[in-house]
A and B are shown apart, each in its own frame.
Chain A
Amino acid sequence: MKLVIALILLIVGTLAFHFWSPWWFTPIASNWGMIDTTVDITLWITGFVFVAVNAFLAYCVYRFRHSPDRRADYEPENKKLETWLTVGTAVGVAAMLAPGLIVWADFVNVPDDATEVEVLGMQWQWQYRLPGADGVLGEVDARLISQDNPFGMSKNDPAGQDDVLVNSNELHLPLDRPVKLLLRSKDVLHNFTVPQFRVKMDLVPGMVTYAWLTPTRTGKFDVLCMELCGIAHYAMRGYVVVEEQADYDAWMAQQSTWADMQAIPAGNADVGKTTYLTCAACHGQQGEGNPAMNAPRLAGLPGWYIARQLKHYKQGIRGAHEDDEYGMQMAPMANVLANDTAIRDVTAYIETLHARPATNTLNGDPARGAGRYVSCGACHGANGEGNSALQAPRLAGQDDWYMKRQLHNFRHGIRGAHKEDTYGHQMVLMARSLKDEQAINDLLAYLNTL
């Protein structure tokens, strides 16, 4: 009897949960409404079968429960009943399969007027490439990928020169225009997923895969990686901004092409040395940092990292949060640098400075910290040397008091919460795996030994 009640409650409870659940597909933003319809058809058919089979099961358990003065029927087979059930099931299955195959045929066949956009995945970031004025994506090869050529562009293919390289995790798409996403990976499997678009596809190194859609709603949508790609898989995030054509054109005008990228001159350290005099007041003549001024050491940090932080300060991406006291001091100082050339020059100079070993100011246990560093080392390197390909700065040699404050800021969204701060956002997710102050002290104690 208890079992009968339980079965009925489970059926009713399942239906109640389904109809009252606030957890359902996020509103769609693409042309794939037919996918949602197919889901609905399947839900109704399977829902009916679920209720019918289990209600009948509950009835049997109730009606034919054991009684000493009754015997079960003896009925090995019932051909007619079995045939009817088989045919009925086959019809139900066909009713679900047919719309599925029809929609799949749409998905497989990309419309001719779809524009191509390349999505490039790597551990654990997204980049994008657009065909440029000629409408043709230039040739690429994974073997050509290097620090100066992050997309692996072939220098011999003229079609590639005007390709727009978006070295950021944010892709913009024009509203109501079909787009074919060409998916490519530098290293391992990834999966490009925007839940509002409904469609997803893996990125596979060594080949180009695709998916297509027409964005039907403006907005900024999360991009998630949905194929396990290593330790920071869950932190591999990006954005797609769907906007009106005019806004899209404005965004496009700010992007640089492969040709632009090759033309960027190297920074001039001699000019930068003069600019650095302003910085030296707090950060020290040799970039050694000054705890009294809350100024971290700069010597030893890679130029690309300093350049990005300076730009972030200038653009209000870093140092704008009201709890970021010292960041807010730094922001106006960064504005002293007039343009990208000035930033390139000063970072070129800072790269010439030499770091001394870090000193311990915290009481942590380096042995325990070593275990915690495993997840960090995936990006920042086993010896804390940093990894420019992953946009992960050097940690070895940095002051522990400074890193402790930054970890605190990341954990509490004081740094890295700004939507433009791609890599900072990743650090927010990663820093939260450190649960308390002792964990941070242990970790930093270990870093001091590197």
Chain B
Amino acid sequence: MQHVALADRPDELHDPQTFITKYVWSQDHKVIAIQYGSTAIFVGLIALVLSGLMRLQLGFPDTFDFIDPNSYLQFVTMHGMIMVIYLLTALLLGGFGNYLIPLMCGARDMVFPFMNMLSYWVYLLSVIILLASFFVPGGPTGAGWTLYPPQAILDGTPGYDWGIILMLVSLAVFIVAFTMGGLNYVTTVLQARTHGMTLMRMPLSVWGIFVATILGILAFPALLVSAIMMLLDKTLHTSFFMPAVVSLGENLSYEGGSPILFQHLFWFFGHPEVYIVALPAFGMVSDVLSVHARKNIFGYRMMVWAIVIIGALSFVVWAHHMYVSGMHPAFGFFFATTTLIIAVPTAIKVYNWVLTLWRGNIHLTVPMLFAIGFIFTFTHGGLTGLFLGNVTIDLPLSDTYFVVAHFHMVMGVSPIMVLFAAIYHWFPLMTGKMFDERLGKWHFWCTFLGTYAIYLPMHYLGFLGVPRRYFAMGTTDFIPESAQSLNAGITVAALLVGLSQLIFLYNIFKTLRSGEKSPRNPWGAASLEWQTADVPPHHGNWGKELPQVHRWAYDYSVPGAAEDFIPQNHPVTEDEQTEGH
């Protein structure tokens, strides 16, 4: 490599000594990763509680005094927005992206450490602005996480005054934070890989995070401009998204704007956002499966290309969220076709995960349980996507609980299964300690079985035609009484799953306080992050010398080799019979 990153010039290397520079204003990617991760998990827990409140109302209507139609919509909106943006995006990219990229690529740090630090603090600011909306007059916005105008900024919607303004500002600030982090991740992958680490030797985790970050850099600006335009519509009464309307009997001064324009901009961001969450998860789960099956990932090149193709296609499918929005109906043909094409590379990924297990030597460790659980939930969620992506089937199912069940399976449960797999898998590296395996297994069983008990039945509420975002169903001719018992059952399952996350938190805190020391490389992983000078790795990651990479990250069970894995930085010996890479 021609370029020598700042972090690799030892005399200029920033070497923090005080507590504040080490742990607060830290420029170490690992500390920033943990700051990102813990903040994301904290807001995620708030969003989890909000979903519990929603489920209480849906499962047991007319029972709880503290939920009314107004607050219900606020819970729905804040739950969705926090989970998608402030938890998943932040934890997968800001958390794992930050932690893994330099370690897996063999870099000393991100290329722009100061900007990396700034990224976290700006993210924290966006979280504070978001949470502040709980305390302003009128409370947070209740416009749904899609924030569709005109209703998002008009009377009759919860938080139409302060709440929506804070939401839009918070999103804009988040995007600034994301861009600072994202440029860093992309540049680091492209410029700071160590000797011998070719692109096609990178672990799939890095590939997933890398492509997802590129998607984010291209997609978030669409959200940024729509947030700014809506802020102008709200505060200065411009009419970007606002046609002439009569709101609650009052003729407003707006004229000529287009609500559909907002939807196109929103989903131009919103659909790639699905893959901003999914691709890092795809990458990390590939690595976890490979390590714990003691077998190379099957079809590595195909897996890389699938990530790249899915990433590219994700920019030409957005309007499948808008089949019944009133856009020109001819769009339906195009977007249904592109959407179903995306099923092909996605299916290939699923096949390759299962084929990685085929003739493996599977250790059912806690991370592996979560990874296999992911294959099941993602298969289910992916297949229901074929219903909604097919424009005709979307007609009866759009805006019903089928949609809610589908995107929770594919974008909620599945990435979270991977996140847990990843946290358990890399926890020994991050902390040097080994978690309690028994508690980890309990956590897996409650989460895996519990979430399926929530979302499988929910699809059938959708087939019935139960609409989403309803405070109460009331009486209709077509929904039988039994649907209410189903809803009550879903609520019980949801509350149990929510509570079982306490097992996870307890396990983490217990291990941090008094956990056993972990072996250096407890899973026998071949990728570079486990080959650092110290575990957990110190600032600068690699001691004096950067590692030299000789092979891909998946040399497991190589015939002729002494052990069942060969680390990436071990030179090729004559005995082993590897193929390529």
Report A's interface with B, CB cutoff 8 A. Answer: 3, 6-7, 10, 14, 17, 21-26, 32, 34-35, 38-39, 42, 45-46, 49-50, 53-54, 56-57, 60-61, 64-67, 70-78, 81-82, 85-86, 89-90, 93, 96-97, 99-101, 103-105, 107-108, 122-123, 141-143, 145-147, 152, 183, 186-189, 191, 193, 195-196, 198-207, 209, 220-222, 224-235, 237, 372, 374-375, 378-379, 387-390, 428-430, 432-433, 435-436, 439
Contact = CB atoms under 8 A, between A and B. Distances in A.
B383 A49 contact: yes
A199 B452 contact: no
B390 A97 contact: yes
Contacts of A145: 246, 251
Given A61-B372, A64-B360, A234 B472 contact: yes
A108 B260 CA distance: 18
A38 B559 contact: no
B249 A390 contact: yes
Interface string B149-167: 0110011111000000000
A107 B392 contact: yes
B439 interface: no
Given A200-B398, A231-B73, 13 more contacts: A50-B383, A71-B294, A72-B293, A76-B580, A97-B336, A97-B337, A100-B390, A100-B391, A123-B156, A188-B154, A188-B157, A206-B245, A378-B156
21 contacts: A10-B452, A25-B465, A35-B393, A42-B387, A53-B375, A74-B559, A77-B302, A183-B326, A188-B156, A189-B150, A195-B465, A195-B478, A200-B395, A204-B260, A207-B260, A222-B478, A225-B467, A230-B151, A234-B469, A428-B474, A433-B67
Contact of A221 (B341, B477, B558, B559): B477
A387 B248 contact: yes
A50 B386 CA distance: 12
Nearest to B397: A39
Nearest to B357: A60
B554 interface: yes
B156 A230 contact: yes
A26 B460 CA distance: 12
B449 interface: yes
Contacts of B154: 187-188, 230
A270 B248 CA distance: 33
A224 B383 contact: no
A142 B242 CA distance: 12
Given A187-B150, A193-B399, A108 B467 contact: no
A229 B144 CA distance: 10
B324 interface: yes
Contacts, number: 383
Contacts of B344: 86, 89-90, 93
A72 B564 contact: yes
Nearest to B297: A76
A72 B156 contact: no
A101 B336 contact: yes
A65 to B, nearest CB: 5
A124 to B, nearest CB: 8
Contact of B361 (A71, A99, A108): A71
Contact of B337 (A101, A107, A222, A233): A101
B326 A233 contact: no
Interface in B210-258: 243-251, 255-258
A207 B259 CA distance: 10
Given A24-B463, A200-B398, A375 B70 contact: yes
A107 B350 contact: no
B564 to A, nearest CB: 6
Interface in B271-327: 293-296, 298-302, 324-326
B10 to A, nearest CB: 37
B301 A77 contact: yes
A54 B357 contact: no
B183 interface: no
A104 B376 CA distance: 31
Contacts of B456: 14, 17
Given A93-B343, A108-B330, A67 B361 contact: yes
Interface residues of B, number: 130
A189 B465 contact: no
Given A82-B299, A101-B337, A234-B472, A191 B463 contact: no
B392 A38 contact: yes
Contact of A206 (B259, B347, B357, B390): B259
A231 B65 CA distance: 17
A379 B155 CA distance: 10
B457 A429 contact: no
Interface stretch (B82-90, B189-197, B479-487): B479-487
Contacts of A6: 445, 448-449
A266 to B, nearest CB: 20
Interface stretch (B34-42, B362-370, B495-503, B528-536): B362-370
Interface stretch (B13-21, B22-30, B56-64): B56-64
A105 B222 CA distance: 31
B33 interface: no
B395 A123 contact: no
B333 interface: yes
B295 A72 contact: yes
Nearest to B325: A202
Most buried by A among B243, B473, B480, B580: B243
Interface string B202-213: 000000000000
B143 interface: yes
A375 B452 CA distance: 34
Interface in B422-469: 445, 448-449, 452, 456-457, 460-461, 463-465, 467-469
A40 to B, nearest CB: 10
B380 interface: yes
